[in-house]
Structure 1
């Protein structure tokens, strides 16, 4: 039997999202971004369109009985989504974050119980695959709950899950394994840059025919929560229809929103230590998560000049032992532009020497945070490889490859200062 629904899942480092198309609508069928029911406060369920990719593993005193029940699971043993993000910012020792980045970390056993990274002995640990499976299971149950009148199980429909184009074959197997553990076997993987280009085409309607044509080369710069992906897509034609073919993909770069949040946390750490406070590793993690929230709120409110940031004092959970500062818009803009998107010369390349402290959170982040330098290297390598292979490729005056179009994708690109 043909599937009635086609469901697309963005299994993101920072947020997950889900959209579906009801094929029974025929020519009127259109994708709809669905809300995802989740806990936003203890005992309070809402359905925003994003499911934050956080798993909070509570201790016996963290929530009152029944406070983390879900409409489909009265005995939930963990929290996923907005409430997990909130509680994790206060108590990062019990928070699993960036599970998708861990899926690509070949230096660890990704099926072993290693998260939260360096958590105390009394905290339950899970694997990156397990955490990913819990996110997918939550999305599946939320979708089924929203479609309960249709007696629909997600596994009975066609499901696509996005992955970075730079994931190697082993990393690509892990989301498939997680989906199977979540009760949704047989999903198909779709590379994120290609998905971004399809989304752009859909948003343009028929107008895309005036903007791209057969023979064009589209560079997709996808800056996500955990990774930066560069892909080159060739626009061709098959049977009279538009055909897209990925002709080049950059190396896997663990560089994205997480790094930006960590850079902001480091900036506030210096400010606090300059005021006489000593910030330990767990407080730095609190700053990291608080800066993520602060960054998003500053992005959302153009008139907001600063966002307060408060962390617990060392060795105490008392409000009186808290430490406060603020993240200003000027600090945010300076960190993003100068640290991650600086203007550079065409011959500039990323640093290769790994800086101290980058692996303290467990992940092998890129040594150089400047995304523009990584892009310059990708375009230079693309030009060199095409010359070696005798392929004609447009080049600019600098000698770098010059695609006909550039598509920027990723939440950080919504920042006005970058646009």
Structure 2
């Protein structure tokens, strides 16, 4: 067997899939032990054993307290834990178990696998991406690459035999990829031209997917059953799980039939209902309207109309629902492209990307035919960041902490931006940066990525010493921070990690300091020094930028108070009016300086798009379901 392979993994909310490239450059899906091409993302904890896939689903009714499903929806949430048989399982633990099962089965068929590309929703934050990569490493991979799911679908479309592999386009095409999976709705506008796929913009909702359609029907059936018999099917874990499985099958049936039967039982009562497709559509109309708002909003934010969109490409299992396809067809005014497999296209696109990453490797070229190797070697893909990236600052007008976004959302990757900051006292020991992303949900204003401490600074620096701070996204949307003392040329580099695992990077000079200088913990406080401009630093966690690059400050920040970010530890702060913080020692404060000579290397839009909560439309009540005759 070959010692390495180009492997792609679609780690889905409800189903997962793994594939590899054969010697002809074609993606081959690896079936699981049951012979299925997609594996349910469910885990059954059976003592010290873990069963993944359909076997876990089969046992979910009898042992609902031992089965974990849909864990991807909590990826990156440090507070989410499942307690089973005295053991604690985090979302990363569950993802690790699923990935290990996929990889072990794949190794039995194709040999050793030490690297793979894993897909994530385009809306995933940096924390969620890191959690996914960490799960891959725990599952036994030595190297994990990340690609956005809509980008993977676009690669499958333009490189796969079901797409336009052999087509040479005279002009570029703008493809809208609509990926509605079990847990998330991802939208991307992708520009395709010869040998290149470039993401123009992305949007979507991490909490809008096939599961929400299921839950709407499940709650309606439960209410109907409770009105008729008294017991609530959702109050008992076994009956709730049984109803959940019934609802999933009905949803699938209603994608190909006008009606389907569903059985509900609880408290010794049992009844079979017939669900009409029209009822299901009326019940979930608010979800369809949410999709419409997101889709239209993405075009409006980028000043595009449907006339600019050449292809509307659907993928994801939930995209099979007629109401979803009807909506997209109505909005676009064109026939949808449904040529991709909703279940396998994401994994296949990830596999193509894995082949692109290996295409310059001599071994990889030896196992692919020359045509496929040349095609993969020439092809390029470029993504954008779904989240604006910046630092927390304090607005002097209302004394609230607000994000200052240095890199707006939908900036082409890789990208970086540089700003100059300065020390505020002679012989300052350190500076402190607090990095944030714009929220991952419509009602979430920002997310903490972590804290970067530049410590120690060289001794005897005068007040106002310039520190050049750079924040950048790499090709896989991972965040990196670097700082440079302009006077001495000394540098520090770090990659932002989760808040509970803060990485402190020592500023080192090969001539003056040992390369193994110890890490210094972050200080607990820093003082406030009034600044003449709009922003001021009130604590070690809220640095202030040198200046605001033209057009990059979010216009929403001034009129609206920004709540304190959630932290993994420590007492919660009241949302009511708070007294001014007491003066603190100024040992890591930074102040405004003149603009840096080097302009930002990013190419952002004029401003970050507003992050406004989209109101949900109340659905019409479900009429009584007809009784079984």
TM-score, length basis structure 2: 0.47
- SS at 1:218 equivalent: strand
Aligned partners of 2:5, 2:21: CA distance in 1, in Å?
6
Give the C-alpha shift of residue 86 in structure 1.
Answer: 2.3
- Residue in 1 that maps onto 2:275: 328
- Residue in 2 that maps onto 1:192: 149
Aligned partners of 1:275, 1:123: CA distance in 2, in Å?
39
If each structure's helix is expressed as a fraction of its own residues, which one has the higher value? Answer: 1
Identify the match of residue 228 of structure 1 among 153, 177, 185: 185
Aligned partners of 1:34, 1:336: CA distance in 2, in Å?
37
Aligned partners of 1:378, 1:168: CA distance in 2, in Å?
18
Aligned partners of 1:130, 1:47: CA distance in 2, in Å?
25
Distance 1:126 1:200, change over 3 A: same
- SS at 2:312 equivalent: strand
- SS at 2:224 equivalent: helix
TM-superposition CA deviations, 1:60-91 (whole Å, max 9, x none): xxxxxxxxxxxxxxxx6122101211222444
- Residue in 2 that maps onto 1:411: 317
Distance 1:297 1:404, change over 3 A: closer
Is contact 2:246–2:262 with CA below 8 Å preserved after alignment? Answer: no
- Residue in 1 that maps onto 2:27: 31
Give the C-alpha shift of residue 228 in structure 1.
Answer: 0.7
- RMSD across aligned positions (CA): 2.8
Is contact 1:166–1:250 with CA below 8 Å preserved after alignment? Answer: yes
- SS at 1:235 equivalent: strand
Identify the match of residue 263 of structure 1 among 196, 205, 216: 216
TM-superposition CA deviations, 1:323-353 (whole Å, max 9, x none): 34335243664257634335xxxxxxxxxxx
Aligned partners of 2:258, 2:49: CA distance in 1, in Å?
37
Give the C-alpha shift of residue 416 in structure 1.
Answer: 4.4
Give the C-alpha shift of residue 298 in structure 1.
Answer: 4.5
Aligned partners of 2:188, 2:43: CA distance in 1, in Å?
30
TM-superposition CA deviations, 1:181-206 (whole Å, max 9, x none): 11113121111001111122214454
Is contact 2:14–2:42 with CA below 8 Å preserved after alignment? Answer: yes
Which structure has the larger Rg?
Answer: 2
Give the C-alpha shift of residue 218 in structure 1.
Answer: 1.7
Aligned partners of 2:179, 2:292: CA distance in 1, in Å?
12
Is contact 2:10–2:18 with CA below 8 Å preserved after alignment? Answer: yes
Aligned partners of 1:230, 1:89: CA distance in 2, in Å?
34
Aligned partners of 1:411, 1:102: CA distance in 2, in Å?
20
Aligned partners of 2:189, 2:260: CA distance in 1, in Å?
38
- SS at 1:250 equivalent: strand
Identify the match of residue 132 of structure 1 among 91, 95, 99: 95
Identify the match of residue 112 of structure 2 among 136, 153, 162: 153
- Residue in 2 that maps onto 1:171: 128
Distance 1:251 1:373, change over 3 A: closer
Aligned partners of 1:265, 1:218: CA distance in 2, in Å?
35
Give the C-alpha shift of residue 103 in structure 1.
Answer: 0.4
- SS at 1:219 equivalent: strand
Distance 1:406 1:95, change over 3 A: same
- Residue in 1 that maps onto 2:60: 88
> What does residue range 260-299 of structure 1 map to in structure 2 within 5 Å?
260-279=213-232, 280-281=234-235, 282=237, 283-299=239-255
Give the C-alpha shift of residue 418 in structure 1.
Answer: 4.2
| 1:100 and 2:72 are equivalent in the alignment | yes
Consecutive unaligned residues of structure 2, counting only runs of 5 or more, are: 326-629
Distance 1:327 1:33, change over 3 A: farther
- SS at 2:141 equivalent: coil
TM-superposition CA deviations, 1:345-400 (whole Å, max 9, x none): xxxxxxxxxxxxxxxxxxxxxxxxx31122222222222xxxxxxxxxx435xxxx
Is contact 2:229–2:269 with CA below 8 Å preserved after alignment? Answer: no
- Residue in 1 that maps onto 2:415: none
Aligned partners of 1:192, 1:34: CA distance in 2, in Å?
19
Aligned partners of 2:217, 2:86: CA distance in 1, in Å?
27
Give the C-alpha shift of residue 21 in structure 1.
Answer: 1.2
- SS at 2:229 equivalent: coil
Aligned partners of 1:329, 1:171: CA distance in 2, in Å?
38
- Residue in 1 that maps onto 2:262: 308
Structure number with greater CO (CA < 8 Å, separation at least 6) is 2
- SS at 1:328 equivalent: strand
Aligned partners of 2:253, 2:292: CA distance in 1, in Å?
25
- Residue in 2 that maps onto 1:115: 82
Is contact 1:214–1:235 with CA below 8 Å preserved after alignment? Answer: no
Aligned partners of 1:56, 1:327: CA distance in 2, in Å?
31
| 1:47 and 2:27 are equivalent in the alignment | no
Is contact 1:297–1:307 with CA below 8 Å preserved after alignment? Answer: no
Aligned partners of 1:284, 1:305: CA distance in 2, in Å?
22
Aligned partners of 2:124, 2:3: CA distance in 1, in Å?
28
Q: How many residue pairs are counted as aligned between the two chains?
A: 320
Is contact 2:185–2:204 with CA below 8 Å preserved after alignment? Answer: no
- Residue in 2 that maps onto 1:17: 17
Aligned partners of 2:57, 2:171: CA distance in 1, in Å?
45
Aligned partners of 1:332, 1:408: CA distance in 2, in Å?
24
If each structure's strand is expressed as a fraction of its own residues, which one has the higher value? Answer: 2
Distance 1:189 1:332, change over 3 A: farther
Aligned partners of 1:402, 1:382: CA distance in 2, in Å?
11
| 1:79 and 2:51 are equivalent in the alignment | yes
Distance 1:91 1:109, change over 3 A: same
